[in-house]
Amino acid sequence: MKLVVTEKNDAATKIAALLGVKKPKADKVYSTPVYRFEVDGEEWVTIGLRGHILEPDFTPTLIYKKRGGWRGVTAEGEAIPAQLPASLARPPFKKKKPFIEDGVELKAWKMDALPYLIYAPIEKLPKEKEIIRSLKNLAKKADSIVIATDFDREGELIGSDALSCIQEVNPTAPVSRARYSAFTKEEITHAFSNLVELDTNLASAGASRQDIDLIWGAVLTRYLTLVKFAGYGNVRSSGRVQTPTLALIVARERERLAFIPEDYWVIKGAFDAGAAAGPTAGDGELAFTAPHSTARFKDEAAAKAAMAAVSGAASATVAAVEKRTRKQQPPVPFNTTSLMAAASAEGLSPARTMRIAESLYMDGYISYPRVDNTVYPSSLDLAEVVKTISGNPAYAPYCQQLLSAGELHATRGKKETTDHPPIYPTAKATPDDLAPADYKLYNLIARRFLATLSDAAVVEGTKVTLEVGGEHFAAKGDVLVTPGYRAIYPYGMKKDEQLPAMSEGQQIAFNGAECTKKQTEPPARYSQGKLIQEMEKLGLGTKSTRHSIIERLYTVKYIQNDPIEPSQLGMAVCDALDKFAPHITHPQMTAELEEEMDNIAEGRNTKDAVVTNSRNLLSEQLANLLPHSEEVKDALADAVAADAYVGKCPKCGKDLQIRVSQKTRGMFIGCAGWPDCDVTYPLPKGKVESLPDPCPTCGMPQVKVTAFRSKPRTLCIDPNCETNKEPDVVVGECPKCAEAGKKAKLIAQKNPRTLKRFIRCENYDECGVGYPLPQYGAITATDEVCEHCGAPMVIVTTTRGPWKLCPNFSCPGKEIEAEKKAVAKEAKAAAKKAPAKKTAAKKPAAKKTTAKKTTAKKAAAAKTEEPAE
């Protein structure tokens, strides 16, 4: 039996379908899905992992013995050698946490343990025990092993970890590696016909990144959390790449805060090339405006003098007409960074872009999306790809035009690697085949691919210089005369700005000028796309992790909005680290470590040497931070209070702040004077931001709440404010009371203390009948009851329109309806995808599944996303 190990279950399914002569047989080993099929009479089995099945962690304890020195001790009691610097104190210690008589306990978050934590040994622990169990069961019976995880550092490490589990039970089976860039029949067949060896250097590079990120992330996060422990319930996160990335955002914000605007004046004239001087001049079809040739007047007197010179003039002389043509070269192929930047400009965040790209890759629509390469390999049949996607009617005419022009030549970017090709479409897709967001990204990739095979666009630029009273105005216009690649790739394209035809010496109407005072603006904040590009330029993170680093900064509330703005807490964390340990916030250190990891991948350095160097660097920075813990604490406390500020307490006058409940983890508003002042206000679920303006009705502070997939709503924090009150609505009769021969009404109401809405029987204390309601939307009663459970049907009207629902979460009809929808959706998707897969990848139609299987599949995919650094 040949065992094929893939990174995800979806990949195991695809490979089995593409390699097997017959339809693969879906099976399970324990609880893990596997797929059995035959190749040339040999039994093959594919098993999908769930990304990393092992994860690194510190040993929980460090022990020192005179004979043997320091050792890390695992939970099972196994000793692992450790190398700690002689400068760290050795046992015997007094028994005070984190110290024990002969060592240090590392599990407890204690400041004194951090210098030891830096040098603690790291062990690999099972992360997916059930999958490991199934993998070992299959490995015992396997004659040979093929590692078919994604081909990059992360994939090589995942495959290497899987192999280490396999070799525990089958150390003699031959092992090979399949490398592929797309889930197409041709690509997968070629990969399994040209197997190679597992790249241990590449896997070591990935493992070194894992270890270094664990060490830096754990030590810095614990430090920042301990100096201001549990500030409003949040752990203060930091990391090797996260911190210098935050520093970029904070530095830009500091530039904006330090920026002093300067006044300048802009003069714009109104002209009409189709009218002579007169009272109505400037109103015709050939009217246009043109700015003064001095783009910005820094001196108001000079601007006034220019206005005085043209005052009263009714005509202008065309002093010069210049026409120039210029070429716009077609774009280079997409790599991961340029894809995220382009998608960000179209409204898709980098994190969402990568989630969608991964899904498109797994479904066979695009090539592998985590690449640095910007040069198509000579082995890629460009014409065949064009033919494949020409099945989309939107591309068909342009594809035919490209194919009829002869041999195709593609643009080349500056980065050329040999692991994967740039991102390109591998199958035809139309808007009917994909969800709107998925097609939006696919369309961007497909059009970019076609653009890279196209000619340059030609733009004709016209500049007309106009003279009025000795002052000169300059009108400019651009017209696309030869579309070239712009015919298929309109992204970022400016509209034509055509000037009316004019000749030198011609007199045209002048209809006056307008002088406007303006101010210079500070440097723009980073968009997510621009930040990704800056991170790549500085060597921060990798193509696979940059988007998740940004997402992590949003999650821990160090940044907000897009363009990105740092929170007060984010600025305080960055400023504190930069003041006492600047090496942590500067990109040079991280870029140097990235270079060292590249050296590991190329065999010029070892994992142990690079990780040890990284430990020593961190130790130096921590030594600078520890003496200044009180200063860091004060800075973080002030920042947390500033970010959490809502308004003044009506009872004691102290600050009202957004807080997190230690018990429920829910958010609420509380007074900074607690426990002396017990004023609190509830908050609904969603993203909460304070607003500067008080409630116009009662004068209390207001907040902006953005619930999931909903538009922001402005709410007064006082639940008793008239703006928050909702009338009770009778929605029906209680079915349980009716069975008991009683008559009781079911009433929809809102709890002013918790802000939760629900339907409850007026005899609730006896019958206990109640149903939850959506947080937002007007409630309207109907005369209907649910056919499955007897609960009253209600209509909820939101900004998306009215929808009728049964409020009973336990209603059996909900599960029935969910299964029907899931089966119908899968059947529809299979019917739509079948033609595309037959043409491009010859894949079988998707199987119908239940709602539970669909949910499990999504959950599995979500767990395989790259971790933040």
Which residues form the catalytic set?
Answer: 368
- Quick count: other Cβ atoms within 10 Å of Cβ 172? 6
Amino acid type, 523? P
On whether the CB atoms of residues 315 and 278 are closer than 8 A, the answer is no
Quick one: angle between helices 851-863 and 812-836, nearest 10? 70
Q: How far apart are CA 865 and CA 354, in angstroms?
A: 9
Q: How far apart are CA 194 and CA 186, in angstroms?
A: 12
Q: How far apart are CA 783 and CA 795, in angstroms?
A: 11
Cα separations in angstroms, 76 against 59, 72, 99, 145, 269: 10, 11, 20, 30, 82
Cα separations in angstroms, 4 against 26, 30, 524, 623, 742: 14, 17, 50, 48, 65
Q: How far apart are CA 568 and CA 640, in angstroms?
A: 7
Intra-chain end-to-end CA distance of the chain, in Å: 39
Q: How far apart are CA 718 and CA 720, in angstroms?
A: 5
- State both tokens at 293: 């040739």
The candidate with the shortest Cα–Cα distance to 790, out of 733, 853, 832, 829, is 733
Q: How far apart are CA 793 and CA 663, in angstroms?
A: 34
> Sign of the C-alpha dihedral, residues 573, 575, 576, 577?
positive
> Sign of the C-alpha dihedral, residues 845, 847, 848, 850?
negative
Cα separations in angstroms, 565 against 249, 257, 525, 527, 549: 7, 12, 7, 9, 15
- Quick count: other Cβ atoms within 10 Å of Cβ 362? 19
The tokens 């059009």 sit on which residue? 447
Element (H, E) at 156: helix 153-169
Residues 6+ positions from 249 with CB-CB distance below 8 Å: 525, 526, 531, 553, 559, 564, 565, 566, 570
Q: How far apart are CA 652 and CA 793, in angstroms?
A: 46
To the nearest 10°, report the CA torsion of 6, 12, 17, 19. Answer: 20
- State both tokens at 374: 């910007």
Q: How far apart are CA 511 and CA 280, in angstroms?
A: 8
Q: Name residue 44's beta-bridge partners.
A: 2, 37
Q: How far apart are CA 245 and CA 261, in angstroms?
A: 27
Strand 2-6 and strand 144-147: the pairing is parallel
Helix, coil or strand: residue 265? strand
Quick one: angle between helices 607-625 and 200-227, nearest 10? 10
- Stated length of the chain: 869
Amino acid type, 468? V
Q: How many CA atoms lie less than 13 Å away from 337 in the CB half-sphere?
A: 21
Strand 565-566 and strand 645-648: the pairing is unpaired
Number of H helices, E strands in the chain: 24, 35
Q: Name residue 647's beta-bridge partners.
A: 656
